Amino acid sequence: MSFLRTLSTLCFGLILIASSSCGILKKGQSGSSAKTAIVLDTIELAYSFEPNPVYQIPPDILIDIHHIELDLHFNWLRQEVIGTAKLSLSAYAKDRESIELDARGFEIQTLVYQINDTSYTPFYTYDNRKILIRPVDKLRVNDTAKVFIKYKARPADLEHETGVAITSNQGLYFINHDGQKVGVPQQIWTQGEPECNSSWFPSVDHPHEKITHEIFLTIDSNFHTISNGRLIYSEEHENGTRTDYWKQDKPHANYLVMIAIGEFSVVKDHWRNIPVWYYLDEKYKSDAMAIFGNTPKMLEFYSTRLGFDYPWDKYHQVVVKDFVSGAMENTSAVIHGDFVQLTQRELLDESHEDVIAHELFHHWFGDLVTCKSWSQLTLNEGFATYGEYLWEEHHYGLEEAQYHLKKDLNAYLVEANGGTKPLIRNHYNTPDDLFDSHTYQKGGRVLHMLRLELGDDVFFSSLKHYLNNHAYGSVELDDFRRSVEKTSGRSMRWFFDQWFEKEGHAQVEITYAQAEEQLSIIVTQKQPEDWPTYRINAPLVIGHEDESLDTILLPLANRSDTFTYNLDSSVIWYSVDPATDILWEKTEFKNTQIWAKQIANAPTHIGRLEGLNAVSDLDPDMASTHIK
């Protein structure tokens, strides 16, 4: 998801406002319309650290909802959802005397319970947040019951809970509900993450809950509708309304259920036999292919690279007004804030293609395979952030991808300066706390290091194994680790423990001493004692006069490691991790002449820039003598 990113000061002396899937606009909302957009994917977040986060135990799985059918009408003036819901469900693991459903701010008109051929109104209680149903007989594990609820929901009337990353839990939003705002279209759209969809339909509103569903939307005939899955039919009515029937027949998480309603211009594209459509303002219709046109290429690249074809029925992208989350990876129907709409001329200066890539990569990591609880969120967002890097590496080349990765490192370090946290975080106050640069950018950088550790063949084979073994299911970190170990044949708990389960990162000082043809390197880890001593295979790159390169891996495992190598006379520069592939803070001490040669000869701009930054701190006269 492209939720929230903060303004971060980059190493290049720039202020970065990153936009991406889950960019950086702030999400603000009170009432029925979001006043400030937030980009939650590919983000740098201004994060507020809570002093005493609470240990969170994921909710038990008590019942399993198999399928939900919704028949929805809308009262625009009252900002009201008029709905009928039919839920098919079973007890999970053991028989249940009661059934608890999430439903926030409903007016329940009727509730009917059906088991086999028997239907009746059961005893139930409702506290404006949860419906507790007590059937006459226990709901048994092997039985499937149906619950029918006729209701009205008014999400705009809910008491709004606020946060830093996700500032509204309204779930469903009416935009220009009374039609009085000139130049603002009338729209309805939803934002289900983290647990907000229970404001417009009854459900079990937790990420572990996977469902299929059908949604019937009755709206004025001039409106488009978009939802998950396939449009089965549209039926026109004599009163000027139309009912669209959408069917999602592959299970996905409750928070990914979406609808969007409004007047849009539609540009139709495709990938293989999959419809790929873009819904946006009429003003930007002629720019749609410039904005979204690489989407089919992304679908092909990700499907091929992962060895797992895009698994959903379509891929539609919808641009809405006043969106609260920047972008959201709803299965087969991504919603974008209107910040992505730029003319072809404006796209010469900026692009939000990283957001587009991020949301698409979620359709494997987040939608197909979903974190079981919010403490595991980096399994969604860290992967989607790394998906941005993979696309840039493939389509724009290694230099662009390294620049992107460097920005991610800086976003994380800015946040870490205010306090560090583990990637797998069981202590937090609300799910909102987890949408930060640790979860996103650090998560992506850790995956990059895992790729370097394993090598490309094993890394991508591990991802394929993970997707195949957990498709349409929910996962925790150990599920991913076991796929890595099964594929690689290696014990990788050390990597997962130090990078996912523990907080912090290495802070190293690297000292070089060259005596004739011998080079000594001392690498000292200076991070706080309560952080890990990191095990890292760090690349030492040695450059020669003929521009050839040697790479030697330095196996770091102690607070101080010393290495000695023989050099021949053709060596002109050397550096540990000049491409900044490793997630660490690094200070190098070496001869100015070596820095100068690195500036002139490093194969990527990241390595050259590293040299420039180093010599800029030296005496100007001394530095200029060697950089000719």
**pLDDT, tens digit, 9 for 90 and up, residues 281-307:** 999 999 999 999 999 999 999 999 999
| pLDDT tens-digit readout, 226-284 | 999 999 999 999 999 999 999 999 999 999 999 999 999 999 999 999 999 999 999 99
Joined tokens for residue 347: 């796209």
1-504 shares its CATH topology with 506-626: yes
Check residue 325 and give its pLDDT.
85
DSSP letter string, 139-208: BPTT--EEEEEEEEE-GGGSPPP--SS------EEEESTTS-STT---EEEE--TTTTGGGTS-B--STT
Q: What is the pLDDT of residue 159?
A: 84
Distance from C-alpha of 322 to C-alpha of 184, rounded to nearest angstrom = 10
**pLDDT value, residue 616:** 82
Give the pLDDT confidence of 420-477 residue by residue, as tens digits. Answer: 999 999 999 999 999 999 999 999 999 999 999 999 999 999 999 999 999 999 999 9
Distance, CA of 423 to CA of 366 (rounded, Å): 16
CA distance 481 to 492: 7
Classify burial at 146, counting beta carbons within 10 Å of its beta carbon; exposed 0-12, middle 13-18, buried 19 or more: middle
Amino acid 69 reads E
pLDDT score of 372 more than 80? yes
pLDDT band at 189; cut points 50, 70, 90: very high
Q: What topology is assigned to 506-626 in CATH? A: Immunoglobulin-like (2.60.40)
Read off the tokens for 325: 């989350």
Taking domain 1-504, whether its CATH number is 2.40.160.10 is answered by: no
Q: How many CA atoms lie within 13 A of 498 on its CB side?
A: 16
pLDDT digits (tens, 9 = 90+) for 80-107: 999 999 999 999 999 999 999 999 999 9
For residues 57-75, average pLDDT: 97
CA dihedral 334, 335, 341, 347 (to 10 degrees): -40
Question: Does residue 624 carry a pLDDT above 80?
Answer: no
Q: Which of 94, 133, 95, 96 is nearest to 113 (CA)?
A: 133
> Domain segments of the chain: what residues?
1-504, 506-626
Please report the pLDDT score of residue 163 as a whole number. 56
How far, in Å, CA of 246 to CA of 557, rounded? 55
Please give the pLDDT value at position 516: 81
- Whole-number pLDDT of residue 32: 36
10 Å Cβ neighbour count for 89?
Answer: 22
Note the maximum CA span of the chain.
92
Reported as a single tens digit per residue, the pLDDT across 301-332 is: 999 999 999 999 999 999 999 999 889 999 99
- The predicted-structure confidence for 550-604, as pLDDT tens digits, reads as follows 999 999 999 999 999 999 999 999 999 999 999 999 999 999 999 999 999 999 9
Distances in Å between the Cα of 64 and the Cα atoms of 68, 70, 469 are 11, 18, 20
pTM value is 0.92
Percent share of the chain, pLDDT over 70:
89
Nearest Cα neighbor of 70 from 314, 190, 244 is: 244
Residue 591 amino acid letter? N
Query: Given this model, what pLDDT does residue 617 score?
Result: 72
